[in-house]
Amino acid sequence: MPRSVLLSLMLASVSTGAVSAAMNDADREFARPHQMVDIGDLPLVVLVRGVSPYAVPGKPQSALNEATEAENLAIQKEVAALSTRSSLHVVAGASHIIQADKPQAVVDAVNEALDRAGY
């Protein structure tokens, strides 16, 4: 497939290839991909979960959870910055498995990327 036809779509969440989370009792450390490569103007749509897997329903979000989610979003923004034709969408109501929780968001992201690619 020629480079101009390549469709880049990332379903982003804490445990995808975009982010590998390592936790221990003392602290939380996030490992970014070893090589994040600029992909130029290839269309890229990054979807980020809107529901934290660490949140307790009906309870205020803990400081650790807030920090975890802020770091996750920062990493996803770094991924989106790899393309000059990217967008990032936080999918409200979606957990880690965005395609199961909000399949229309994935369909919309694919269509968005295809539109940017001229298809």
Distance CA 59, CA 44 (A): 35
Please say whether the beta carbons of 39 and 86 come within 8 A: no
All structural domains of the chain with their residue ranges:
3-117
Distance CA 62, CA 71 (A): 14
- How far is C-alpha 26 from the chain's CA centre? 26
Per-residue pLDDT of the chain (119 residues; tens, 9 = 90+): 333 333 343 333 333 333 333 333 333 444 445 567 788 888 999 999 988 877 788 888 888 888 888 898 999 999 999 999 999 999 998 988 999 999 999 999 999 999 988 88
Distance CA 36, CA 88 (A): 17
Reported as a single tens digit per residue, the pLDDT across 56-71 is 888 888 888 888 888 9
Q: What is the CA radius of gyration of the chain?
A: 15
Distance CA 9, CA 72 (A): 17
